[in-house]
Amino acid sequence: MIKKTALLSALALSLILPAHAEAKTVTVNRPGLAPARYETDAATVGEFLLEKDIILEKGQVPFPSASEALSEQADLTIKPGYTITVKDGKHSYTRSTTSNKVADILKELNIKLGEKDTVTSPMEGSVKEGEILRINRYKERTEKAMRDMPFATERRENPQMDAGSERVIQKGEASKVEEVVRISTVNGEETARIVLSSRVIREGKNEIVEVGTKPVENMIHGKKYKKKITMNGTAYDPSAGKWTASGTRARVGAVAVDPRVIPLGTKLYIESADGFPTYGFAVAEDTGGAIKGNRIDLFYNSRREAYNFGRRNVIVYVLED
């Protein structure tokens, strides 16, 4: 025989009760026994069985089930059967049945399936102890929905604008589209969305962007340059002499070069490659015994400035005349 704890489990599934229940008359029918009549104020079958200490044989269940409410004049039958938990869509309940086969349960509990409804376990299967019979309810609805259709971007070449530059001459606007959609749900959860028709409510506009194609002249601080060279830079100060190889006075802006690389008299713009303060505009006016190839020697007014510069890479822009 099952223990009271089994009824307690069934009772946990019972309905929420009012604070005060009406007195009821319950007739209990059991195989091989005469009907027995009880008076009770229990709200559910499970409460009634516990109250009257009615013990069920193994494999027996109450009809109606333990979770169902008692009527004022209730007939309760105890016989072999199964306690089946059903989740129908989003609603769950427990019932007693004489069979655990899915098809029989649906018939016995008068559960009707729609054309696209499904069950889990499968229709030809059975519900084992501890399993839940799930009824998956399929529904469709049609509704209107508004959405924005992204605008396209049209790019136009402008030969009057420098290559690499661009500007927006017309801002894009999305089209507003009304769609009729069919939405499919299973147990209230959306599973598919199909657009049945659509129409444009408001026409959008393409974004128009002008793209420059004019060749860009090489410019540095407002001056055109022919080329730029990365060179190894050093520094010297007045202690090296007052005059340059060109006969000009040594000064800031007069630099020493290898004339085979940069001819004397060439105008330059010199900037540091590593963030050190930029030297700026200069003229190739001097030479030096150690200044060969891609070497350049920058004049500073003091030994300290020359020492601070040390040796570092610089970018030399060869300016147009």
- Give me the pLDDT at residue 22, please: 65
- CA distances in angstroms from 166 to 108, 157, 215, listed in the order given: 75, 9, 14
- CA distances in angstroms from 49 to 60, 62, 92, 313, listed in the order given: 13, 9, 22, 97
pTM listed for this prediction = 0.53
Overall fold of domain 4-80 = Ubiquitin-like (UB roll) (3.10.20)
- Give me the pLDDT at residue 218, please: 86
pLDDT at residue 3 above 60? Answer: no
100: alpha, beta or left, given left = phi > 0 and alpha = psi -120 to 50? alpha
Non-local (6+) Cβ contacts of 20 within 8 A are: none
pLDDT at residue 1 above 50? Answer: no
For residue 299, give the nearest of 249, 230, 227 by alpha carbon: 249
Distance CA 57, CA 49 (A): 13
Grade residue 49 by pLDDT with cuts at 50, 70 and 90.
very high
Distance CA 50, CA 66 (A): 10
Q: Is 236 exposed, middle or buried (0-12, 13-18, 19+ CB in 10 A)?
A: buried
- Give me the pLDDT at residue 216, please: 77
For residue 123, give the nearest of 107, 142, 137 by alpha carbon: 107
The CATH H-level superfamily of 141-213 is Resuscitation-promoting factor rpfb. (2.20.230.10)
Distance CA 226, CA 218 (A): 7
Q: How confident is the model over 223-246, as a mean pLDDT?
A: 94
Q: Is the dihedral of CA 37, 40, 44, 50 positive or negative?
A: negative
| 164-219 residue pLDDT tens | 889 999 999 999 999 999 999 999 999 999 999 999 999 999 999 999 998 877 88
Q: CATH 2.20.230.10 in the chain: give the residue spans.
A: 141-213
- Give me the pLDDT at residue 314, please: 96
- Give me the pLDDT at residue 5, please: 44
Q: CATH 2.40.40.10 in the chain: give the residue spans.
A: 219-319
Amino acid at 155: R
What percent of the chain stands above pLDDT 90?
83
From the candidate CATH numbers 3.40.190.10, 3.90.1150.10, 2.40.40.10, 3.40.50.10090, the one assigned to the domain spanning 219-319: 2.40.40.10
Distance of CA 147 to the CA centre of its chain: 20
Evaluate whether 41 touches 27 at the Cβ level (below 8 Å): no
For residue 196, give the nearest of 138, 147, 143 by alpha carbon: 143
| 14-46 residue pLDDT tens | 444 444 456 899 999 998 899 999 999 999 999
